[in-house]
Structure 1
Amino acid sequence: MSPVSSQGYTTRRAVSGSVEGASFIDTPSLRSGDTGLGGLAPEVTEADLIVHLVNGTGRITDRDLDLLGQLSKSRQVVVAINKVDVLSERELGDITEAARICLEDLKVAPVPISAKTSLGLDKLLEQVATLLEGYEPPPEPTPESAKEAQEATDEEDEGHLGAAVIVHSLGAAVAVVLLGRASLMIPLLDVAAVALAQYLLIGHLGRKHDQQESTFGPIRLVVTVVGSSVYFLLCGKFRWIFPALGLILDAVAAFATTAAVGFIVGWGLKTADRLFPPWIRKMIFKSEKKS
């Protein structure tokens, strides 16, 4: 039996049980810093069907939608909205409708339940049974299919990296142009804008690769300082003589340094993912949590 508490993250390890030939596994909750599939218990990625539990007193977050979107690509998913016993009839209707709209594109229907009073559990079990009836697990991946899947993942990651780098680099360049003369009167104003763009870009890439802020934060800060310092060394050389040309060159320098920082960090994180598999990152996180 899983431990129960009003506090979050009560379940620290997977708890399993069997009913009528079906195995059920209660897994630890997602942590606040987890994104994508990296923060999930290994049992989740091996399950035939996943029941994703959402707190009915809150709302379905962007992280929930991102996670459900990835999970529903390869397995069946049911969303259970818990704690509906503390909601009024109107509140229950509102959150159920909001959840239905949010999950519509994923073709996942929400099921309101109360684990405390057992309200709605019969409907939840019916939906689980319906989905499992006649279900055939996907075939075991062959080396060829695994290679194709890895290539597709790598291509998707490269596309995401390129898009993120371009957006943030353009943001840095546009900020330098918009600041224009103001940065002449306020020293280092444009450098601060470029540093902010780089800091946001590095943070975005870190979250994409499931990096924890406690360990990735100092690296993020150091790389931002180095990247913005490189921009500082490149900018401002021609502004006083040729203001228009100098501003254009500064914008190019802002774009180039931010793009370089993004690609270097992206490559580094991808390499780290290959060197350190998810179970090692999970072990590191647990040791941090205990301390």
Structure 2
Amino acid sequence: MNNKLKWLSAVVLFSFLGWYFLLKQSDYTITFKVNAATGTISQGIIEWTTTQTKNQNEFYTVLEKRNFDFIKHQMKKGNKEMEYTWNMKSVNDSMTSITVGIKDLNHSFYNRLTAPFVSTKFRTEQIEKIKSFKMGLEDHIDDFKIRIDGKRSSEEIYVAYISLKSILQEKAQTMIEFDAKIVGYLDRNKIKIIGYRPYLEVTDWNQDKEIISFNYCFPISKNTKYVPDSDVKFKIIPALKGLQVTYFGNFRTSDRSWFTLLDYAKLHGYKLENKPLEHFLSNPFNGGVESEWETKIIIPFASK
């Protein structure tokens, strides 16, 4: 019996050592939690790597990306080569757990022997790096507020609109660039904007490439006579049933609320169309405190 137990213990030990030194993906793992959606964190990681390239001469390549909850990077700086594997998992409606697996491609064996057990230069540097990322992410999250409203319905609205396309991070800038075109058309043709509270209607969202096609819309009277134009068109945005949030903050980052709705839907078993409709209730051209700018965002339920 003792021999069998010793044999079993040896098998378990060698199996563990084989996994730890040969199969395990990381040399060292750091885990922490943040009050943000998985997509917000994913965007933060991408922006952080861009900053690291600019300020630290660290060059990052995306090796693998799945939805908004998994990113694997390779980083090169001089003769240093690292891999960072980010896993994001929603804990509840507002909290996400982040696990960062770190691997030094040139000194992996040594780091696995030391870093998990004693304080080494590698371990200290990586803890400081991830801590810096976390602090920057938390500073960004402090710039806006998202309130989950739950299931809601929007109103049917008649609009003048212009169709645009941009990467997700530049949607607000793209709207501003074309604002004069659509507002100028409405002014020239003496078409009154109702309330001057525009809409952004997403018609396609390529989540892998982070590119959106959308309509930049202004509400007008249904009785308005259409004056032909190569860019500006008229249409009805139908009433939608879906999940809604209220976003307070700069419109440049209102997509953070989209990610909140996606995580909320996943946690609560809803299927969404992934075509957000934003209604801007504040005019940024009037200035004021950004944290008080209000936007209603609804993502419709997917049709059965």
What TM-score, normalized by structure 2, do the two folds share? 0.27
Please state which structure has a larger fraction of its residues in strand: 2
User: Highest relative contact order (Cα 8 Å, sep 6+), 1 or 2?
Assistant: 2
